[in-house]
Amino acid sequence: MGNEKVLIINLGSTSTKVGLYQSGEMQVNSSVSHSAEELKAFKTIWDQYDFRKAAVHKVLADNRLSIRDIDLIACRGGNVRPIPGGIYEVCPRMIEDMKSGVYGKHPTNVGGLVAFDLGKEFDIPVFTLDPPMTDELCSSARYSGIPQIERQSSFHALNQKATARKIAAELGKKYQEINLIVVHLGGGISVGAHRKGKIIDVNNALDGDGPFSPERAGSLPAGDLVKLCFSGQYSQEQITRLLTGGGGLMAYLGTTDGIEIEQRITAGDQQAAEVFEAMAYGVAKEVGACAAVLEGAIDAIALTGSLVYSKTLMASLQKKISFLAPIYLNPGENEMEALAEGVMRYVNQEEALSTY
């Protein structure tokens, strides 16, 4: 064991990422970009099935790989029902839940079906781990303030968990032995309180809860949001767009590109500087909230995601939170490696399968 060939399938909104992992390394890591024009041809995400499957086969062909030589398949988790973090074998019930749309709609669901069908066709086991709906919230974290709404767990669980394990290893400990705060800084921002291997509190990054991010509005003043919703100026679809996709940096600065914003700040754009600083301010407040949840017992704070490459943002954020615990930087999404490493933990009998 340990030399298995793992095919990794990771579908994003505008990309199909395919990788081959073997002997502890990514042998192939390819991303096929899909233009807005290409994707306009499909009315629903499920209409993309053949298109996305063809993209996977193209990467295999371009790298002279045969699906028949693959030992295991790992796919990014889709919108499944809330479950604890862990390694799961993709099963018919999981596919049904993703197809239902009850738990959300995202192209990663199509990736799960592509992987599942390839597994059936070529008799290859298919696994996923730590899906976005990973739910390990403590009971207090579920209370919103009114009985009609329960706080939900929907965030960057895959990268959060992988980063937490990496930092634990750097500390010479197991993930289950430490407390840490993990901050994922990407198009969405999630801040998780990790206590002994469980994420007991985290903002719902999918719906834009928490600090505002490059494309999400974050938590808003409730009364003003209600007035906006009933002003007659916006449809439900338009409000949703303001919250997710058109909020945050996009709403204030017309871009989600951190590099562009830094260039604007360097050129003297005062508004860009204020908005970027405000985002760091909001993230720091969320980190402080997680510190309270962990009662101050924090072994480390880990910052991960694409925005960790921003020196301006990191300088501001670290200044605000460094008094809480040592800070570790782990830039990038790291999803492909996380999927492969998770499957290998199962292969090497370091972690048992969870039941869906």
Does position 167 have pLDDT exceeding 90, yes or no?
A: yes
pLDDT value at residue 245: 86
Which position has the higher pLDDT, 210 or 333?
210
pLDDT for 14 beyond 90: no
CA atoms of 327 and 308, how far apart (whole Å): 12
pTM over 0.85: yes
In a 3-state reduction of DSSP, which class is residue 253? helix
* pLDDT winner (highest mean) among 6-15, 176-185, 251-260, 331-340: 176-185
Q: Do domains 6-133+336-354 and 148-325 have the same CATH topology?
A: yes
Sheet holding 6-11, edge to edge: 25-33, 15-22, 6-11, 72-75, 126-129, 87-89, 353-354
Q: Assess whether pLDDT exceeds 80 at residue 92.
A: yes
Which tokens sit at 7? 């095919």
- pLDDT bracket for residue 317 (50, 70, 90): very high
Q: Is the pLDDT of residue 1 over 80?
A: no
CATH topology of domain 148-325: Nucleotidyltransferase; domain 5 (3.30.420)
CATH superfamily of 6-133+336-354: ATPase, nucleotide binding domain (3.30.420.40)
Residue 120 CA to residue 124 CA, distance in Å, equals 7
Q: Look at residue 316 in the predicted model and tell me its pLDDT.
A: 97
How far, in whole angstroms, is CA 271 from its chain's centroid? 29
Query: What local confidence, expressed as pLDDT, does residue 289 receive?
Result: 98
**Would you kindly state where each structural domain of the chain is located, as residue ranges?**
6-133+336-354, 148-325
pLDDT-based confidence at residue 12 (cuts at 50, 70, 90): confident
47 contacts: CB under 8 Å, gap ≥ 6? none
Q: What average pLDDT does this structure show over 199-205? A: 96
The three-point CA angle 324-325-327 to 5° equals 120
Report the pLDDT value the prediction gives residue 127, as an integer from 0 to 100: 98
Q: Assign 308 a pLDDT band (cuts: 50, 70, 90).
A: very high
* CA dihedral angle for residue 140, residue 146, residue 149, residue 150, rounded to 10 degrees: 10
The percentage of the chain sitting over the pLDDT mark of 90, rounded to a whole number, equals: 89
Structure token digits, residue 297:
């017992």
Note the pLDDT tens digit of each residue in 246-284. 999 999 999 999 899 999 999 999 999 999 999 999 999
Say which residue the tokens 């999400």 belong to: 216
The stretch 204-226 carries a mean pLDDT of 93
pLDDT at 106: 87
Residue 206 confidence (pLDDT): 82
Asked whether residue 3 carries a pLDDT value surpassing 70, the answer given is yes
**Residues facing 128 on adjacent strands:** 88
Judged against a pLDDT cut of 80, whether residue 37 lies above it is answered with yes
pLDDT in tens, 95-112: 999 999 998 888 999 999
pLDDT of residue 36: 81
Separation between Cα atoms, residue 11 and residue 164, nearest integer Å: 23
The mean pLDDT of 7-23, rounded to a whole number, is 93
pLDDT-based confidence at residue 334 (cuts at 50, 70, 90): confident
